[in-house]
Structure 1
């Protein structure tokens, strides 16, 4: 279970971050230690050269834009707000934080596995859709994570592992198909099983090139499968065609 959560678990990272810090001012984790002055000096040139490039090619540009089809800014993802992007080092630290409560020996093995994944960057965005758009009694929220690795094989393996993990639990229902994206998989929580204070959920995972796409959707039970399908299709199409309006 722990291996599944890390190997394919960007979705689990989102859940962890969402639930990590409910109390204002309570620290939950730290980014890697600050670099030395020499390291900072060496990085200045790279930072300057990459600043303009990020605006054109950063992972955040691949998200479905706010305002599209009723997709508005959603709740904060932990302490990071509704829209955040991380470097490879920061994303690696965040993934390691998600397994910090596991037994020491297990945690160390998983941390080694995370290092081997060689994450190049990660971005998170949260959306909310009101009931007027999809005829639900309450808003539906979706947290999306985009993770870029240094090779496509690793991305494919992460997506496959994550989907296999959900399938092996014998708890989730197989979700709707995503038209035009045969490798995309969605899983839903059991219909009618949510308690009064709980929401139904959907977990969707896919990969496009070197980008792993993971979305976690929460809404009234039963969850609107049509919304899940439309949103995830829109997100994957956006990555396939990043030239769409930002």
Structure 2
């Protein structure tokens, strides 16, 4: 019943929500709640700005504040987000499992989407503390960064950003170290393919 409900929701989705990968895509199921909005939601511009800032909370404070200021200069028209959980059914200890949250934000213009995605990627690259994330095939403007390796930290996170038209795309992945970067790269590539080819969302 839950699967049927998810498929109906995906089929009925329009706009930004219709561009998100459905839950039945290669075995992905509903992930953890995204704040108070649940695992699948569409937001207004004001709600979107607040949530975008919240999504930066895992970054170092000084870097986070700079990105928040950049967001304040760009108006968001709306947002759609969905969280996913991926686990190998044969991995009983869930060592290879990870969760992904995808956020699609519609900006005022293509230039705004490009500028925010480019600024975030250049910034994370320039501070020099992140490891190289998975490669996203066929999407030159997409970049992913893996959090620094800390000896007593059991979790890894990946931050990805890209844009397509006036849509800013962000993906945040979390799971036990070491993350399966190949699977993450495939997922993000599929999501970006779907946005670049709206026919796939019908």
Structure 2, unmatched stretches of 5+, are: 1-11
RMSD: 2.9
CA separation in 2, counterparts of 1:134 and 1:208?
Answer: 35
With normalisation by structure 2, the TM-score equals 0.79
Q: Pick from 199, 206, 215: which aligns with 2:171?
A: 215
What is the aligned partner in structure 1 of residue 199 from structure 2?
A: 243
CA separation in 1, counterparts of 2:82 and 2:75?
Answer: 22
Greater C-alpha Rg: 1
Task: Could you list the structure 1 runs, at least 4 aligned residues long, displaced by more than 6 angstroms after superposition.
Answer: 96-99
Tell me by how many angstroms 1:164 deviates: 1.6
What is the aligned partner in structure 2 of residue 153 from structure 1?
A: 111
Q: Pick from 39, 51, 62: which aligns with 2:19?
A: 62
Alignment partner of 1:231 is 2:187: yes
Query: The residue matched to 2:116 in structure 1 has which SS?
Result: helix
Q: Pick from 58, 65, 75: which aligns with 1:118?
A: 75
Question: CA separation of 1:207/1:72 partners in 2, compared to 1, >3 Å: closer, same or farther?
Answer: same
Figure out how many residues of one structure are paired with residues of the other and give that number.
184
CA separation in 2, counterparts of 1:232 and 1:134?
Answer: 22
What is the aligned partner in structure 2 of residue 172 from structure 1?
A: 130
With normalisation by structure 1, the TM-score equals 0.66
Query: The residue matched to 2:159 in structure 1 has which SS?
Result: strand
Query: The residue matched to 1:76 in structure 2 has which SS?
Result: coil
Tell me by how many angstroms 1:216 deviates: 0.5
Query: The residue matched to 1:243 in structure 2 has which SS?
Result: helix
Alignment partner of 1:86 is 2:47: no
Structure 1, unmatched stretches of 5+, are: 1-54
Query: The residue matched to 1:226 in structure 2 has which SS?
Result: helix
CA separation in 2, counterparts of 1:235 and 1:194?
Answer: 32
Q: Is the 8 A contact 1:201 1:219 kept in 2?
A: yes
Query: The residue matched to 2:199 in structure 1 has which SS?
Result: coil
CA separation in 2, counterparts of 1:189 and 1:90?
Answer: 27
What is the aligned partner in structure 2 of residue 24 from structure 1?
A: none
